[in-house]
Structure 1
């Protein structure tokens, strides 16, 4: 098929066939499609959109552009979770070992930080020796023996997505629901999943600012994933404040260990982790209801089984075998640590969450450019949730910095990101809605 004819049909608002989409993506993978043609195609989709069937076809074509993993020899339900990203979002670190302890297999392909949002792989690279890019044999062995492995995308999984995303990134076509949907799902489907749960965030710390925008993406993802044969549901969740009480790579690993040891009971992030665990267990057929799934997940936490799985995953992928016993030996603190002090009495009422994410980036805990090095020590900890009553001079967060200068800048920025009022803000549920198949 002639690429320009396919571009022309989509430019004019016509519905492309699965064969046309497959041919275009095949050309993108082989190099037969030029960057200009790929950019024109992305722009046509951006303005004209795609039907559900077109998006399914695009997703499958990108999935099939490289290797598609099979887990037939595992003998367990193959499940995963994906988040659209936020500040202090380390859910995957706790969720994977929890559901692994409940009998699921979780081959989790994760990413590095993007903009103001932290990356799961950056957090795990805080742990000396942890291999985020193991060969397939080690990846498979870890999933089989431990039940979970969190690694990076290999060059052989959905390579067409890598090329198309790079082009979208420089042509202002990232923000397209069909293209976002196909990009996310092609990688997940290439990992050989049977079930998937999605965390689609909205708010001032999310890529999707409004709840309606997040719901549109969630519905697209759920419809397309189910159309492609993967049983999928989504939760639309609030990101108008940090999710964990820490933001920063090593600090979120410490938070993970505290969570798995039962020290974060009753928090917003506990609500979310257990909700996702329940979804995964229900989808896999391990339980017959969401309450049963939550109860099973709580048991995995209470018995220490989830913590044990996390430690085994770290060790299996090259990290220290005694990491969970001696995390302080391996996670070195930042040299400068100081509190952000409340400027008046009252209730923490608002938070500019994206600004907090950018504080972490400015401290060195994120990237301004793809090749930037990460300082895993820096970030924020002991972040108080909205609704907390504070007194003037009370700490609302701790800043961990590499230099006195960056510490001073960060203290000022974090203070300015919070609003304090004389009246407690209304409670906001962390889960706005559930989108099912």
Structure 2
């Protein structure tokens, strides 16, 4: 078998067999197939696409390219959640404790943020003492004891995906549904979950900008999961404006705590309850979405979700005092108000621009090796649909930098203010299952 023949086949629209895909992925992971040939293959896939069976085979080839996690020691149906990434997306910090409080085990591996989107691992590391790496025995014990644990992804989990993603990033082949879907699902399969709920973000702050693209990606990932005997559900959620009011690591942890206390922004709470309901149904805790939603609202109001979050933080070495006093989280030295220069209604808040502004403050990374400042970020005081008068505070910058004029300008530009109140856009567009 020769890689050049496989490239030619895919270039000409011939479907690749499981054996051929395993040959390509294993050879590339081992360094036996060079970057230039895998680049050519990625471009051939970009133009010719793949059928459902091909995508499933590619997913398994990548999942089996390195370590796979065995969750056999965890009792019950293990449910995982994955978000395709957004701005202000702290849903895992809320959803996982709610699902765990309902008795469904969540053994979650999360990533770090890159670019304008944040990462759950970075948010948790803003908690003093929190350990994002646990020995496998403790990871499993924590899930059995507390129904949840959350760690960073193993360095050798689906290594083919890491190598291929880096290659796609510099060869203009990122935006390919088969390659995106297999990338996401290979990590989920390697992580060992029995059921997977996908939060597919769509809008200006998401990777998928249009609902049509997001639906295609969601349907492809659900199809992959089902073909590999994993119950898989995809929720398409809105990311045209930042989720919640806080963007930045410690700020988002504090906002998650506020939601678990029963407060918080309505749209953030809504998507969290929807995701948690689907996860608990997939885990067998409730017979229907409606029953799950009702029960989870009760768990939220009773404080059980907050109590589970506290146990989770303490079990992983973090300071549980932040649950009672979020002021113990890192605080920026400066708070700068960005004020409206016209009146009307907020018609849009460009999520990507807000995410980039937070990254420039130090809340995110332009490159993987960049250091994170956990204390900085942006608090949004006005969201889409809110009335605005001249001089009202639109947002507050939390900064440790002396010069913030450019950030203020970027935030101001992210806001569109007009005469008419815009129609409300639902936070959940549809569910694919």
TM category (shorter chain) comes to over 0.9
CA distance in 1, matches of 2:177, 2:426: 25
Superposed CA deviations along residues 234-285 of structure 1, whole A, max 9, x for unmatched, are 1111111111110011100110111111112x61011100000111111222
CA distance in 1, matches of 2:361, 2:427: 28
Residue number among 416, 419, 435 corresponding to 2:432 in the alignment: 435
Change (3 A) 1:383 1:189: farther
Structure 1 residue 136 and structure 2 residue 114: aligned?
Answer: no
Q: How many residues align?
A: 433
| Equivalence for 1:396 | 394
| Equivalence for 1:292 | 291
| Equivalence for 1:268 | 267
| Equivalence for 1:364 | 362
Superposed CA deviations along residues 160-197 of structure 1, whole A, max 9, x for unmatched, are 21121122222221111111111100110111111111
Structure 1 residue 334 and structure 2 residue 329: aligned?
Answer: no
Question: In the TM superposition, what is the alpha-carbon distance from 1:132 to its structure 2 partner?
Answer: 1.9
Whether the 8 Å CA contact 2:235–2:432 is kept in 1: the answer is yes
| Equivalence for 1:377 | 375
Superposed CA deviations along residues 382-428 of structure 1, whole A, max 9, x for unmatched, are 4322001122111122111112312x322222122111112110111
| Equivalence for 1:410 | 407
Residue number among 393, 417, 422 corresponding to 2:419 in the alignment: 422
Superposed CA deviations along residues 304-326 of structure 1, whole A, max 9, x for unmatched, are 21112212222222212433233
CA distance in 1, matches of 2:406, 2:137: 46
Whether the 8 Å CA contact 1:246–1:383 is kept in 2: the answer is no
CA distance in 2, matches of 1:135, 1:174: 33
Whether the 8 Å CA contact 2:126–2:330 is kept in 1: the answer is no
Question: In the TM superposition, what is the alpha-carbon distance from 1:156 to its structure 2 partner?
Answer: 2.8
CA distance in 1, matches of 2:30, 2:374: 37
Superposed CA deviations along residues 23-53 of structure 1, whole A, max 9, x for unmatched, are 2112122222222222222111111111100
Question: In the TM superposition, what is the alpha-carbon distance from 1:227 to its structure 2 partner?
Answer: 1.0
CA distance in 2, matches of 1:232, 1:51: 18
CA distance in 2, matches of 1:379, 1:233: 32
- TM-score under structure 1 length normalisation: 0.96
| Equivalence for 1:307 | 306
Q: Secondary structure at the match of 1:412?
A: helix
Whether the 8 Å CA contact 1:76–1:103 is kept in 2: the answer is no
CA distance in 2, matches of 1:37, 1:144: 45
| Equivalence for 1:197 | 197
| Equivalence for 1:325 | 324
Q: Structure 2 unaligned runs (5+)?
A: none
| Equivalence for 1:279 | 278
Question: In the TM superposition, what is the alpha-carbon distance from 1:141 to its structure 2 partner?
Answer: 2.1
Alpha-carbon RMSD across the aligned residues, in angstroms, is 1.4
CA distance in 2, matches of 1:280, 1:118: 22
Moved more, 416-425 or 94-103: 416-425
CA distance in 1, matches of 2:333, 2:362: 13
Q: Secondary structure at the match of 2:247?
A: coil
Whether the 8 Å CA contact 1:364–1:375 is kept in 2: the answer is yes
Question: In the TM superposition, what is the alpha-carbon distance from 1:70 to its structure 2 partner?
Answer: 2.4
CA distance in 2, matches of 1:383, 1:76: 42
CA distance in 2, matches of 1:382, 1:67: 41
| Equivalence for 1:178 | 178
Q: Structure 1 unaligned runs (5+)?
A: none
Q: Secondary structure at the match of 1:53?
A: helix
Question: In the TM superposition, what is the alpha-carbon distance from 1:21 to its structure 2 partner?
Answer: 0.8
CA distance in 2, matches of 1:135, 1:8: 45
Question: In the TM superposition, what is the alpha-carbon distance from 1:143 to its structure 2 partner?
Answer: 1.8
Q: 1:117-136 to 2 correspondence within 5 Å?
A: 117-136=117-136
CA distance in 2, matches of 1:276, 1:83: 10
Superposed CA deviations along residues 345-379 of structure 1, whole A, max 9, x for unmatched, are 21111222211111001111111121111111111
Question: In the TM superposition, what is the alpha-carbon distance from 1:11 to its structure 2 partner?
Answer: 1.6
CA distance in 2, matches of 1:426, 1:90: 25
| Equivalence for 1:345 | 343
| Equivalence for 1:57 | 57
Question: In the TM superposition, what is the alpha-carbon distance from 1:114 to its structure 2 partner?
Answer: 2.2
Superposed CA deviations along residues 84-111 of structure 1, whole A, max 9, x for unmatched, are 1111111011101110010111111111
